[in-house]
């Protein structure tokens, strides 16, 4: 609480500085445009400070490129926004590149309930194993980001997204420079880090200097902090701009090829009051590093001859290795045209291709319930009580009388031989995405009224495969985290294949009415329609995938033609503004066919049909209002501040409850379907308050956030499909057993949304003296509940990072800029839990550890 008190005190000081008796009031900083985000100047407002008043009628914060690179050179745009009010972004690597353990919440909405764009191009919902987009760091090189704008309440009507129940994260690439130049940076640091960045700008060329362009590339290499896995890859960007006055043509291309070694989360079990836990359940190591490349120790000292992991470790066994490999090609062409003095038109066509694989190589015994179904010739005739249990390859089940123990041992040995003789097996989830779409908007200036209307259409063809591969003991070069198994061998079997074809259409119209000089009213409406068709050309063998005998197939078409928004801003003093916004939003069903929270992986055709016929997608009404201030005083002090209150009515909240939870992205290695249930409504109330004070070379930014997001209903644990809401509010933390009153009722009513802290505080202090810059960042994250009933939680933490930089004065060297900077993350070596994977009503969750202190030294130069 001391951190919160400090923040509130700093906020009162900042607000007092903007009192009406101030000597002089300056015009506020120009806000970023609400309406025409795709055509906005990506570098506008890049003054190296966080701008907390970035939208006209919505609560939004902008972080420019200079500030992003100060946090850590090469940091991902999503990791950079962790300093903004109302935002929780956590991951176990300092750059925010690892996507398996990344977690984002904004005002109680999870990552896949927000909207994301890059230069106005949709990036999908950011789910791990994504089917409809890519992460911002894969769409643009970090150093080429012009700014990131976060709307914490509700995004613009024109935002191309079908998932933004809550706010939006808009990333903008930087524009080509006007002059010929070369810039580069080299970073070295902890755990063999090496990051090399280079960019070449053409400057203006062609008749009248109407053309400009740049090409840029980066290579990154870093070892994981607690195991011998090497994160890295290559990325390239190119951008061309032809600005002919009335016509502007922009072309952009991004290539990204990356490999991210993954570590499994630690699975925790907390017994209910009066209950007990076994020693196996209480085994919770702080880290679970993979063994690669030490195959000999893993095979002979860790695994049994049958490929079973140590029983004493339970769910917290260790894999040989795990990784995510992704290759992306993204490009767009945009035409901005001035059709008349009062009419402008912007249209963008884009294409995105992705292919990738998530790979886990580990004990055969942990995967035996799947592997035996395909590789044991006797499986179909074996009584179900004679089939091997998880982590019991070669062990006859106690209830089995049809085979002898010797026969079970022989069958287990045969399965080891069938999977390469190593006692290991490799599981992959392989991906393909091909998206093409158009984003278009027309703006008509009628004086007091500025009308915008436009739309977004996208066709997405996507496929996911679940495949299993051998780990040949005679050629271990075929099994490493840095190759895709499909490139070097045929799979043992393909467990399932899912194909989806998805069309999205979004239309909008909006009027910005300048009622008089001090009052702006903005109102409009958008539509959201999705036509999704999912099929499984390859179905899993019965018994190989938990929770199903056949995965459901079919179409779900969801069309909502009236999603309104109304907002206004009122200029109180020339430096202070009042604003409010009311908006309805919708999240379309996820058409991901390899898990996740969509109807296609419920495991039951009946449940799928119920959603198709009767289901309602998640929707929300967001109400926000506040006051913002932009002031400059005679003594040289400037203040940029905003206080924002928000309320959200969230309807038809869907929970995907896994049938096989575990530590691999929240699931066990053999996977399983989810029970997708409508658990009713959630109500959220919260406050964000943030300010930036600048004086000479000193800048102080502080943001405090309070969020109270509570379920309004209990739900039934035995429910499937829809209609799981219960009108009860039984309280407590225990699900009553059969025969007891309220049997099967999960007591979520009145409970905080898990994973979302009530309190957060962010502080960024910067000092510039001569050639030196110094920056400190403090990040407080409050306690987070880890189950739907709030019966267990992870504690709060406060982390500090810092930066010191020295810039060579101009004209000393024949270069435009030479700077040496040192960044240190987690200065105090804080230990604790970062990402929390939530999948259980009670008792159990999984979590990833906070990364230790690390240092990074960067030399950057420009010519």
Say which residue the tokens 């309930």 belong to. Answer: 113
pLDDT of residue 667: 65
Angle formed at CA 687 by CA 682 and CA 690, multiple of 5 degrees: 145
Q: Tell whether the model's pLDDT for residue 496 goes beyond 70.
A: yes
pLDDT for position 19? 33
Q: What is the rounded CA–CA span in Å between residue 168 and residue 149?
A: 8
Q: Write down the pLDDT at residue 530.
A: 96
The per-residue pLDDT for 35 is 35
2-267+319-364+425-712+750-862 topology per CATH: Maltoporin; Chain A (2.40.170)
* Mean pLDDT calculated for residue range 519-530: 96
pLDDT for res 549: 85
Q: Is the dihedral of CA 478, 484, 489, 495 positive or negative?
A: positive
Question: Does residue 41 surpass a pLDDT of 60?
Answer: no
Distances (CA, A) of 168 to 28, 104, 112, 161, 775: 24, 12, 11, 9, 27
Q: What's the token pair of residue 735?
A: 């699900």
Distance separating alpha carbons of residues 59 and 15, to the nearest angstrom: 18
Between the alpha carbon of residue 138 and those of residues 236, 373, 634, the distances in Å are 10, 38, 45
Q: Which helix (H) or strand (E) holds 611?
A: helix 605-614
CB 166 within 8 A of CB 622: yes
Write the pLDDT tens digit of every residue in 246-278: 999 999 999 999 999 998 999 999 998 888 899
The Cα–Cα gap between 574 and 112 comes to: 38
**In the predicted model, is pLDDT for residue 52 greater than 70?**
no
Peptide bond into 404 cis (omega under 30): no
pLDDT tens for each residue of 64-73: 999 999 999 9
In the chain, domain spans = 2-267+319-364+425-712+750-862
pTM given for the model: 0.91
Q: Please list, residue by residue across 341-365, b when 16 or more beta carbons sit within 10 angstroms of its beta carbon and e when fewer do.
A: eeebbbbbebebebbbbbbbbbbbb
Question: At 724, is the secondary structure helix, strand, or coil?
Answer: coil
Q: Give the pLDDT confidence of 422-479 residue by residue, as tens digits.
A: 999 999 999 999 999 999 999 999 999 999 999 999 999 999 999 999 999 999 999 9
> What is the tens place of the pLDDT at every residue in 71-126?
999 999 999 999 899 999 998 889 999 898 899 999 999 999 999 999 999 999 99
């Amino acid at each position: 609480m001391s951190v919160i008190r400090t923040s509130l005190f700093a906020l009162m000081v900042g607000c007092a500085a903007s009192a009406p008796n101030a000597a002089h009031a300056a015009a506020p900083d120009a806000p970023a445009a609400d309406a025409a985000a795709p055509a906005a100047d990506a570098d506008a407002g890049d003054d190296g400070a966080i701008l907390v008043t970035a939208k006209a009628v919505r609560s939004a914060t902008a972080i420019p490129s200079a500030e992003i690179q100060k946090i850590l050179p090469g940091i991902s745009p999503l990791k950079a926004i962790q300093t903004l009010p109302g935002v929780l972004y956590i991951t176990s690597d300092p750059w925010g590149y690892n996507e398996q353990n990344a977690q984002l919440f904004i005002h109680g909405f999870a990552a896949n309930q927000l909207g994301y764009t890059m230069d106005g191009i949709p990036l999908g919902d950011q789910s791990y194993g994504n089917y409809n987009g890519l992460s911002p760091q894969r769409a643009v090189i970090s150093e080429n980001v012009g700014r990131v704008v976060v709307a914490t309440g509700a995004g613009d009507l024109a935002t191309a997204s079908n998932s933004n129940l809550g706010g939006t994260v808009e990333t903008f690439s930087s524009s080509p420079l006007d002059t010929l130049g070369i810039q580069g940076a080299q970073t070295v640091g902890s755990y063999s880090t090496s990051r090399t960045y280079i960019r070449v700008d053409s400057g203006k060329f062609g008749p009248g200097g109407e053309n400009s362009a740049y090409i840029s590339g980066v290579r990154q290499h870093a070892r994981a902090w607690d195991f011998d896995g090497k994160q890295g890859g290559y990325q390239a960007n190119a951008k061309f701009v032809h600005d002919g006055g009335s016509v502007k043509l922009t072309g952009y291309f991004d290539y990204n090829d990356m490999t991210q070694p993954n570590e499994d989360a630690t699975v925790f079990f907390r017994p209910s009051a009066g209950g007990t836990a076994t020693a196996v359940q209480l085994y919770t190591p702080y880290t679970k590093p993979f063994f690669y490349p030490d195959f000999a120790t893993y095979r002979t000292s860790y695994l049994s001859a049958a490929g079973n992991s140590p029983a004493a470790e339970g769910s917290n066994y260790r894999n040989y290795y795990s990784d995510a490999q992704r290759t992306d090609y993204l490009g767009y062409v945009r035409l901005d045209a001035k059709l008349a003095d009062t009419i402008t038109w912007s249209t963008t066509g884009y294409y995105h291709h992705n292919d990738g694989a998530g790979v886990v190589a580990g004990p055969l015994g942990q995967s035996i319930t799947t592997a035996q179904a395909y590789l044991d010739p006797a499986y179909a005739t074996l009584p179900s009580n004679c089939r091997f249990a998880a982590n019991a390859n070669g062990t006859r089940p106690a209830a089995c009388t049809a085979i002898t123990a010797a026969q079970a041992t022989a069958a287990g040995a045969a399965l080891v031989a069938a999977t390469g003789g190593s006692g290991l097996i490799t599981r992959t989830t392989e991906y393909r995405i091909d998206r093409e779409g158009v984003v278009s908007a027309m703006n008509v200036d009628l004086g007091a009224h500025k009308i915008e209307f436009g739309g977004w259409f996208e066709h997405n063809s996507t496929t996911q495969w679940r495949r299993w591969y051998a780990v040949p003991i005679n050629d271990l070069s075929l099994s490493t985290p840095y190759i895709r198994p499909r490139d070097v061998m045929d799979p043992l079997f393909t467990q399932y294949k899912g194909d989806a074809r998805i069309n999205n259409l979004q239309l909008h119209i909006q009027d910005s009415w300048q009622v008089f000089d001090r009052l702006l009213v903005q109102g409009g409406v958008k539509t959201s329609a999705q036509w999704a068709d999912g099929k499984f050309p390859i179905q899993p063998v019965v018994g190989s995938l938990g929770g199903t005998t056949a995965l459901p197939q079919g179409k779900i078409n969801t069309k909502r033609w009236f999603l309104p928004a109304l907002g206004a801003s009122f200029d109180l003093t020339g430096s202070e503004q009042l604003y409010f916004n009311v908006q309805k939003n919708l999240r379309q069903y996820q058409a991901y066919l390899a898990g996740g929270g969509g109807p296609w992986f419920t495991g039951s055709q009946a449940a799928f049909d119920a959603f198709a016929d009767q289901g309602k997608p998640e929707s929300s009404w967001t109400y926000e209002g506040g006051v913002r201030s932009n002031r400059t005083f005679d003594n040289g002090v400037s203040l940029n501040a905003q206080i924002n209150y928000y309320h959200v009515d969230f309807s038809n909240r869907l929970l995907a409850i896994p049938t096989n939870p575990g530590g691999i992205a929240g699931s066990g290695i053999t996977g399983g379907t989810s029970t997708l249930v409508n658990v009713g409504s959630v109500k959220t109330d919260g406050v964000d308050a943030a300010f930036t004070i600048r004086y000479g070379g000193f800048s102080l930014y502080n943001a405090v956030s309070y969020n109270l997001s509570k379920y309004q209903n209990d739900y039934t644990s035995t429910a499937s499909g829809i209609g799981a809401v219960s009108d009860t509010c039984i309280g407590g933390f225990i699900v009553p057993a059969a025969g007891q009153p309220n049997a099967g009722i999960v007591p979520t009513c009145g409970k905080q949304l898990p994973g979302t802290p009530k309190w957060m505080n962010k502080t960024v202090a910067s000092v510039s003296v001569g050639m030196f810059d110094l920056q400190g960042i403090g990040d407080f994250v409050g306690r987070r509940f880890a189950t739907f009933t709030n019966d267990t939680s992870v504690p709060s933490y406060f982390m500090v990072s810092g930066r010191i930089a020295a810039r060579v004065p101009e004209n000393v060297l024949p270069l435009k800029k030479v700077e040496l900077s040192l960044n240190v993350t987690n200065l105090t070596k804080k230990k604790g839990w970062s990402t929390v994977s939530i999948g259980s009503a009670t008792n159990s969750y999984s979590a990833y550890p906070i990364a230790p202190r690390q240092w990074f030294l960067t030399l950057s130069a420009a010519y």
